[in-house]
A and B are shown apart, each in its own frame.
Chain A
Amino acid sequence: NAGVMQNPRHLVRRRGQEARLRCSPMKGHSHVYWYRQLPEEGLKFMVYLQKENIIDESGMPKERFSAEFPKEGPSILRIQQVVRGDSAAYFCASSPGTADIQYFGAGTRLSVL
């Protein structure tokens, strides 16, 4: 049973471009979470999704950021018109249900030039 898979591991974008981060949850997991970790800082919750539904997006910036978890395929975190402040590690986690252990991917490190 493969773990949570995130790709790409590293992503370099210029200011104004779009970044697409992908997360394939563990098999059988229908709950996906996205977190952002800035250098030397903790983990900040961004969004919680179940299949085709956004359950809680209270940690997502109101503009430029969006997330989806379609019926088929991975969850996508999309950042439009990236700025230097978006440079961070973005982690995805999945769980089989609410209040369950979250299994984390290795993260995508986004660098905005």
Chain B
Amino acid sequence: AQSVAQPEDQVNVAEGNPLTVKCTYSVSGNPYLFWYVQYPNRGLQFLLKYITGDNLVKGSYGFEAEFNKSQTSFHLKKPSALVSDSALYFCALTNAGKSTFGDGTTLTVKP
């Protein structure tokens, strides 16, 4: 069985500060890891992915994520948050064709 955990339902940061949205996973085998963002009343949009290679992955809108195999984590980060980054963020794991999503973390960036 595979699982994804996003331990924080909500993350609040001030504009201009760094942000981290946490994600841990459990899977047998090599994971393919993704981050998606969802704005209100919209579908999910792809942000970035880790398949293999460099543990630091850079994605859209200045986001990056670090794959840590020993800690089974794939935290999403951004050096300087924008108000427009406020949205719902999902971490996802794909293995053997099956995708599992975390429950999502609501990021609120305050001016």
Contact = CB atoms under 8 A, between A and B. Distances in A.
Interface in B41-97: 41-46, 49, 51, 90, 92, 94-97
Given A99-B51, A101-B49, A43 B98 contact: no
A5 to B, nearest CB: 11
Interface in A1-55: 4, 33, 35, 41-45, 48, 55
In the complex, the 7 A-B pairs of residues with the closest C-beta atoms, listed nearest first: A104-B43, A42-B103, A98-B97, A43-B101, A104-B44, A99-B32, A42-B104
B97 A43 contact: no
Contacts of B51: 99
In the complex, which range does the number of interface residues on chain B fall in? 20 to 34
Interface in A44-72: 44-45, 48, 55-56, 58
B25 interface: no
Interface in A76-107: 91, 93, 98-99, 101-107
Interface of A: 4, 33, 35, 41-45, 48, 55-56, 58, 91, 93, 98-99, 101-107
Interface in B22-45: 32, 34, 36, 41-45
Secondary structure at the B interface, as helix, strand, loop or mixed, is: strand
A58 B2 CA distance: 13
B20 interface: no
A43 B43 contact: no
A104 B41 CA distance: 12
Contact of B90 (A42, A48, A58, A105): A42
Nearest to A109: B41
A102 B46 contact: yes
A93 B97 CA distance: 13
Given A41-B103, A42-B104, A106 B42 contact: yes
B43 A105 contact: yes
B102 A45 contact: no
Contact of A56 (B44, B92, B97): B97
A44 B103 CA distance: 8
B34 A45 contact: no
B44 A48 contact: no
